[in-house]
Amino acid sequence: MEQKKIPTRDGFGKGLLKLAEKNQNIVALEADLGKSVRTEWMRQKFPERVFNFGIAEQDMFVTAAGLASCGKIPFAGTFAIFTERAFEQIRNTIGWGNMNVKVIGSHGGILTGEDGASAQTVEDVAVYRVIPNFTVIVPADAVEAEKATEAIAKHNGPVFMRLTRSGVPIIFDDSYKFEIGKGKVLKGGEDVTILACGPLVSESLKAAEFLEKEKIKARVVNISTIKPLDGNLVLKCAKETHAIVTAEDHSIIGGLGGAVSEFLGENYPVPLERVGIKDKFGESGSPAELYKKYGLTAEDIVAAAKRVIKRKKH
């Protein structure tokens, strides 16, 4: 039976509404895309605390910084690609000012599908990783997105959280505890470690099942916080399995693969394979078609795991 799939943006919308019911300082800002980003759910119940700026993202993010300076906790959301339109404002008012603003980027990655290259961000995680003071989060499913929304509201400082348009398999249940900066081992194994984020976590779990049938034991780790990276866990996995695969619906440059490469290069070099988008833009197509074309399927992760195991020093 196929796993239930829910967009991670739905988990965000649910978490935001819960927060708004408990805390009067929670406010939401939208740029004509409240229905898509799910801030509309909060607007339906608390219209006086949700502000629509139209297609004026730069205005929205500067205003969010102003609200944060007055003690509010603003969640400013739009498509991830449209947050980049306001890069200077986000960098100079939110990042440089270390303002308590939560930047919500929905429709991240090529999982966005038929909307095509102009709407599919393949570089957003890299963009926010390099802004000082920012925390960067990519939830694996809608449950984690909901839990992460609650966690980032308690975190004092700027956050970028990337969400999906399309449904992704549910991995966690309501007992799951999310912690900023901490990865989670989802499956044990000593032959290779697969570090994944976002929709590629479920693909990695599927890949581990395929590998197990070939007597290859793959460890699967959900790295939902890209910055700060859980270096202790990455180091532990590298020392115990001596082979790493990263998997993400994002460019292999600057995202999870980049972060892990940088960390291991400086701390404990081991063979590494990066599954992700290889310095290309996306295109229009169904998510399944695009994942196959761009090499983001469970089968692609299996192939990467086999390659990296061959490179291990025995």
Q: What are the tens digits of pLDDT across the range 194-244?
A: 999 999 999 999 999 999 999 999 999 999 999 999 999 999 999 999 999
**CA 128 – CA 228 distance, rounded (Å):** 12
Active site residue 212: no
Q: CATH number for 184-310: choose from 3.40.30.10, 3.40.50.920, 3.40.50.720, 1.10.3720.10.
A: 3.40.50.920
If you count DSSP H runs as helices and E runs as strands, how many of each does the chain have, helices first? 13, 14
Mean pLDDT value across the chain:
96
| Dihedral pair phi/psi, residue 152, rounded to 5° | -70, -25
pLDDT digits (tens, 9 = 90+) for 118-165: 999 999 999 999 999 999 999 999 999 999 999 999 999 999 999 999
pLDDT, greater one: 126 or 115: 126
- pLDDT tens string 23-64: 999 999 999 999 999 999 999 999 999 999 999 999 999 999
Q: Percentage of residues in the chain with pLDDT exceeding 70?
A: 99
Measured distance CA(165)–CA(271) in Å, rounded: 33
The active-site residue, picked from 57, 123, 146, 248, is 57
5-169 under CATH 3.90.25.10, yes or no: no
DSSP secondary-structure letter at 159? E
Pairing of strands 184-187, 218-222: antiparallel
If phi > 0 it is left, if psi is from -120 to 50 it is alpha, else beta; for residue 268 that is: beta
Query: What's the average model confidence in pLDDT over 286-309?
Result: 97
Name the residue ranges covered by the structural domains of the chain: 5-169, 184-310
CA angle 198, 204, 209 (to 5 degrees): 150
Question: Mapping DSSP to helix (H, G, I), strand (E, B) and coil, where does residue 247 land?
Answer: strand
What would you report as the CA-atom Rg of the chain, rounded to the nearest whole angstrom?
19
162: amino acid identity, one letter = R
Domains 5-169 and 184-310 share a fold: yes
Residues counted in the chain: 314
Q: Which residues fall within 8 angstroms of residue 190, CB to CB, at 6 or more apart?
A: 217, 219, 240, 241
User: What pLDDT score does 2 carry?
Assistant: 62
Separation of first and last alpha carbons in the chain: 40
**How far apart, in whole angstroms, are the C-alpha atoms of residue 144 and residue 223?**
12
User: Residue 34 and residue 13: Cα distance in Å, rounded?
Assistant: 10
User: Cα–Cα distance between 196 and 307 in angstroms, integer?
Assistant: 17
**155: number of Cβ within 10 Å:** 16
Question: With 90 as the cut, is the pLDDT of residue 310 above it?
Answer: yes
Angle at 185 between CA 125 and CA 234, to 5 degrees: 60
**Residues 303-308, mean pLDDT to the nearest whole number:** 98
